[in-house]
DNA sequence: ATCGCTTATGACAAGGTTGTCATATCCTTT
DNA sequence: AAAGGATATGACAACCTTGTCATAAGCGAT
């Protein structure tokens, strides 16, 4: 957590620092980020930085919390507005869509997340803690529900399917943020996510 | 390409340097690798390094070529030994399997490739050139053949399916090399790759 | 053994990084 | 206005990085 001094700062200065940090962490993984670039960009002195934060990781955790909150709020908001259909295929479709749209609307935030997921495993664990495990369990729960309702094959390996859904949503966002890697534009990515879910749906659906 | 001096070296010294470089590039992406660590590990002086190589990228390209050749040979060898079935699902299954087994048998090599695929896009392009595009076209060709034979749905978006196959093989290897991320051991990964292909197969197969 | 080519060496410059600290400035309260 | 606490500053040490270069050592042929 940043020191009290940071929160005493005039709003505009605080925001300048936050903006500089977001830019830095969007471009570089935490382990490659530089305090020098941040203080240059934010126009504060080296000494000040250490008056506000313990070190770079202190700042990173603060920024990452902002990102995580933003994404959480985004998902909550948009998953609500349309009444949550009980169809698990609908839920998954919506999640993929929202993931991509969040990346489109908040590329810097998305890039920060992306660096974290792609980069050093130790660091990822330190920042995310149990989050990834929860996420995995969420997917498994969703699929289990599908099995109980009879819409998902009984013999499906839920762990594997959950791996598929989770990893592919990360890959999709990653590729999108990479810019013109596989697909041309956001719409093609949305199309692709849809088609992928069609494949999955047909692939895991119970036979009639 | 390394300078002539390097190739004039006594074999054992050359191999010491290659081994040190492989270790370094297996642990760190090229952009994070350090000449200092390599020369320490190889027990040569700083000056010697520059007598053998233009710079670190010169060495990297040399090492990467070794890795690429090794993998190519591995694939060729094992795709041959069992007569190549014409079934595209069989081919894909075998490719996933071999990818994982190569990573198991040659973890350092696999890690080097992995760093390349996960890391900086500019650098990846510089090293791989058109390779990724060829790879993509290979998958598309495979699927197109399936469509012509009537085993793959006509309305399948081949670009998306190809994305799926390509990215997932990378993800699978990546997760395996990360050690005990999703699945416990190599066998569980092989199982997972099989189950994933079952899902895909059912997902893209033409209706009877 | 001396000449000459090849190889080896580590000190060095120039640039980057982080964290500290003595000093200066600002601002509020008295 | 003066005192005192909070904030700002940039020089500095310590450590890393890369690439160069003058010098030294090895080694084969004459």
For residues A87-109, average pLDDT: 96
How much is the mean pLDDT over chain A? 96
The answer to whether residue B172 sits within a structural domain is yes
For residues A106-129, average pLDDT: 98
Mind listing the pLDDT tens digit for each residue in B15-39?
A: 999 999 999 999 999 999 999 999 9
Does strand D come within 7 Å of the CB of B55? yes
* Residue A96 and residue A59 share a domain: no
* Residue B168 and residue B98 share a domain: yes
Range of the domain at A39: 1-64
The answer to whether residue A72 sits within a structural domain is no
Mind listing the pLDDT tens digit for each residue in B55-86?
A: 999 999 999 999 999 999 999 999 876 666 77
Q: How many CA atoms lie within 13 A of A28 on its CB side?
A: 15
CB count within 10 Å of CB A77 equals 10
Is the four-CA dihedral A186, A187, A190, A196 of positive or negative sign? Answer: negative
User: Is A112 buried (19+), middle (13-18) or exposed (0-12) by CB count in 10 A?
Assistant: buried
* Residue B89 and residue B62 share a domain: no
Name the residue facing B171 among A161, A167, A182 (closest C-beta): A167
The tokens for B98 are: 């071999």
DSSP β-bridge partners for residue B205: B152
For residues B139-158, average pLDDT: 96
Beta carbons of B200 and A203 less than 8 Å apart? yes
> Which pLDDT value is given to residue B84?
63
Does strand C come within 7 Å of the CB of B4? yes
The answer to whether residue B73 sits within a structural domain is no
For residues A24-43, average pLDDT: 98
Does strand D come within 7 Å of the CB of A9? yes
CB A189 within 8 A of CB A104: no
Alpha carbon distance B108, B105 (integer Å) = 9
Closest nucleotide to B37: CA versus each C1': D17
Q: Which residue of A has its CA nearest to B199?
A: A203
> Which pLDDT value is given to residue B189?
98
Q: Which residue of A has its CA nearest to B188?
A: A160
Alpha carbon distance B73, B78 (integer Å) = 9
Mind listing the pLDDT tens digit for each residue in A47-68?
A: 999 999 999 999 999 999 999 9
CA of A123 to C1' of C13 (A): 35
Least Cα distance to A53 among A112, A97, A9, A100 occurs for: A9
Least Cα distance to A25 among A104, A123, A99 occurs for: A123
Least Cα distance to A24 among A9, A53, B33 occurs for: A53
Tell me the shortest Cα–Cα distance from B9 to chain A, in angstroms: 36
pLDDT at A170 over 70: yes
Tell me the shortest Cα–Cα distance from A204 to chain B, in angstroms: 6
Closest nucleotide to A51: CA versus each C1': D7
CB < 7 A to strand C: residues 8-47, chain B: 8-9, 13, 44-47
Beta carbons of A136 and B182 less than 8 Å apart? yes
**SS3 per residue for chain B:** CCCHHHHHCCHHHHHHHHHHHHHHHHHCCHHHCCHHHHHHHHCCCHHHHHHHCCCHHHHHHHHHHHHHHHHHHHHHHHHHHCCCCCCHHHHHHHHHHHHHHHHHHCHHHHHHHHHHHHCCHHHHHHHHCCHHHHHHHHHHHHHHHHHHHCCECCCCCHHHHHHHHHHHHHHHHHHHHHCCCCCCCHHHHHHHHHHHHHHHHHHHECCC
* Residue B196 and residue B108 share a domain: yes
Residue B128 Cα distances to A16, B26, B53, angstroms: 39, 17, 20
The answer to whether residue B76 sits within a structural domain is no
Confidence of residue B207 (pLDDT cuts 50, 70, 90): confident
* Residue A137 and residue A37 share a domain: no
> Which pLDDT value is given to residue A86?
75
* Residue A39 and residue A88 share a domain: no
The answer to whether residue A192 sits within a structural domain is yes
Total structural domains in chain A?
A: 2
**Cα angle for residues B128, B123, A110 (degrees, 5° grid):** 115
* Residue A194 and residue A112 share a domain: yes
Confidence of residue A84 (pLDDT cuts 50, 70, 90): low
The answer to whether residue B142 sits within a structural domain is yes
The answer to whether residue A71 sits within a structural domain is no
Phi, psi of A104, rounded to the nearest 5 degrees? -70, -45
Question: If phi over 0 gives left and psi between -120 and 50 gives alpha, with beta otherwise, what is residue B51?
Answer: alpha
* Residue B102 and residue B45 share a domain: no
* Residue B87 and residue B61 share a domain: no
Domain boundary among B10, B41, B66: B66
How far does Cα B8 stand from its chain's mean position?
30
Q: How many CA atoms lie within 13 A of A186 on its CB side?
A: 12
Tell me the shortest Cα–Cα distance from A8 to chain B, in angstroms: 37
Alpha carbon distance A60, A34 (integer Å) = 11
* Residue A200 and residue A130 share a domain: yes
Residue B157 at interface with chain A, using a CB cutoff of 8 Å:
yes
* Residue A147 and residue A87 share a domain: yes
Long-range contacts of B147-150 (CB under 8 A, 24+ apart): B150/B206
Least confident of A45-49, A66-70, B176-180: B176-180
The tokens for A122 are: 């130790």
Does strand D come within 7 Å of the CB of A36? no
In chain A, residues 123-152 whose CB comes closer than 8 Å to chain B = 136
The answer to whether residue B35 sits within a structural domain is yes
**Cα angle for residues A184, A190, A193 (degrees, 5° grid):** 110
> Which pLDDT value is given to residue A82?
66
3-class DSSP assignment, residue A164: helix
Percent of chain B with pLDDT over 90: 92
CATH number of the domain enclosing A178: 1.10.357.10
Q: Which residues of chain A have a CB within 8 Å of the CB of B164?
A: 168, 196, 199
Least Cα distance to B24 among B54, B53, B64 occurs for: B64
CATH number of the domain enclosing A3: 1.10.10.60
CA of A200 to C1' of D14 (A): 56
Name the residue facing A199 among B32, B191, B203 (closest C-beta): B203
* Residue B133 and residue B49 share a domain: no
Confidence of residue A85 (pLDDT cuts 50, 70, 90): confident
Residue B174 Cα distances to A1, B38, B56, angstroms: 33, 24, 24
């Amino acid at each position: 957590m940043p020191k009290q001094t940071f929160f005493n700062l005039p709003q505009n200065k605080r925001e300048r620092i936050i903006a500089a940090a977001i830019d830095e962490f969007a471009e570089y993984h935490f382990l490659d980020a530089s305090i020098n670039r941040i203080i240059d960009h934010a126009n504060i002195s080296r000494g000040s930085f250490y008056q506000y934060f313990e070190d770079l990781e202190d700042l990173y955790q603060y920024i990452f919390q902002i990102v995580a909150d933003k994404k959480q709020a985004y998902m909550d908001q948009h998953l609500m507005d349309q009444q949550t259909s009980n169809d698990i295929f609908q839920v998954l479709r919506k999640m993929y869509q929202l993931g991509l749209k969040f990346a489109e609307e908040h590329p810097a935030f998305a890039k920060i997340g992306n660096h974290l997921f792609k980069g050093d495993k130790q660091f990822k664990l330190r920042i995310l803690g149990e989050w990834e495990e929860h996420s995995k369990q969420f997917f498994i729960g969703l699929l289990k529900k599908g099995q109980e309702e009879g819409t998902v094959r009984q013999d499906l390996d839920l762990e594997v399917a959950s791996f598929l859904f989770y990893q592919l949503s990360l890959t999709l966002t990653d590729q999108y943020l990479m810019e013109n890697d596989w697909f041309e534009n956001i719409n093609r990515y949305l199309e692709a996510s849809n088609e992928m879910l069609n494949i999955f749906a047909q692939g895991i659906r119970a036979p009639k």
